[in-house]
Structure 1
C-alpha cells in the first residue's frame, strides 16, 4: 500500500499524483491519497488494507498451537505468525511510547 497523505494541501504537493500512481503500479501496490485532517479516503485505505490481508491469509490459513486437532477445533494449516515486535511491551506501554496524537 502506498498512501499520499495531506491530500488537502494540494498546493504544497511534493509528489505528483501521476508519479505516485505509476510507482504504485510498478510495485503492485494499492495507492490512495488521503487526508488525516478531513478524513478523505482514510476509511477506504484501511478497508483496502484489510481486504488485502484477508486475501493473503485466506491463501495460507494460520496454524495454532502445535497444529494438531484436539477434538475441540479443527487445526488450521499454513504459516504461523510469530510475535513480529519481539517485545514484551504491553499495549498501555506502547501508547506511552507512541508519537501518534490519536
Structure 2
C-alpha cells in the first residue's frame, strides 16, 4: 500500500503556561476552539497532513507543558524536532520576556539548525495587548526567524504559521525524504600507512 504522505515533520510548541499552545494545536489539527482551559500535563501530540509545495507533509505537532516542573520531561522532546514554535501571549508581557529563556532552551537541547518560528497568540484580544507587534518583529529579526500574530480563537494566521514552518523545513531539507535524516553509521576502515 502506498504511503499517505511524502514527509513526516515533527514540530514542537514551547512557551509559558497559559499562552495558548494547546488551543493553537487543536485549532490547527481539528479546526476547533475550546474556551475551557486545562493545563497540559507533560506532553501530547496531534497530527495533520497538508500539501506544501506539491508534497504531502504529515505534521506531528507536539504540545508541551509550560510549567517549570515539567521542564525535564519536555527537554527530551527537543531532540528530533525539525521545527520549534515559540509561543507567547500578546496580553502577557512576562510570557514575551520569557521567549529569550525558551530560545536558550532550544540552543541547549535541540538539534543545530532546527527551524524556529515566533508566534504572538491571542491577537483577537487587541484591547488587552501588552506586547507591541514591533517588539516581537524586532526579536524575530534578531534571531533570523519568521514571526506571526495568531488567534486560536478566531483562527487568524494559524494555518499560515504552520504551513510556513513546514515549507521552511521542506526547502531546507531540499525536499529529501525526512525519514532518512539519521546520521549514517560510521564504519571502521583501515588506511594505508602513507595516508
Q: Normalising by structure 1, report the TM-score.
A: 0.58
C-alpha distance in 2 between matches for 1:63 and 1:6: 34
Larger radius of gyration: 1
For structure 1, list consecutive stretches of 5 or more residues without a partner in the other structure: 65-78, 82-102
Q: Which residue of 2 aligns with 1:93?
A: none
Shift of 1:61: 5.7
1:62/1:80 CA distance change after superposition, 3 Å: farther
Q: Which residue of 2 aligns with 1:52?
A: 168
Between the two structures, name the one with larger relative contact order (CA 8 Å, sep ≥ 6): 2
Q: Does 1:10 align with 2:126?
A: yes
Please, which of 63, 77, 80 is the counterpart of residue 182 of structure 2?
80
Q: Which moved more, 1:10-19 or 1:30-39?
A: 10-19
C-alpha distance in 2 between matches for 1:63 and 1:9: 40
Please list every run of at least 4 consecutive aligned residues from structure 1 whose deviation after the TM superposition is greater than 2 angstroms. Answer: 59-64
Q: Normalising by structure 2, report the TM-score.
A: 0.31
RMSD, aligned α-carbons: 2.1
C-alpha distance in 1 between matches for 2:179 and 2:149: 36
Q: Which has the higher strand share?
A: 2
User: SS of the residue aligned with 1:15?
Assistant: coil
For structure 2, list consecutive stretches of 5 or more residues without a partner in the other structure: 1-116, 184-195
C-alpha distance in 1 between matches for 2:170 and 2:179: 15
1:80/1:36 CA distance change after superposition, 3 Å: same
**Number of residues of Structure 1 aligned to a counterpart in Structure 2:** 67
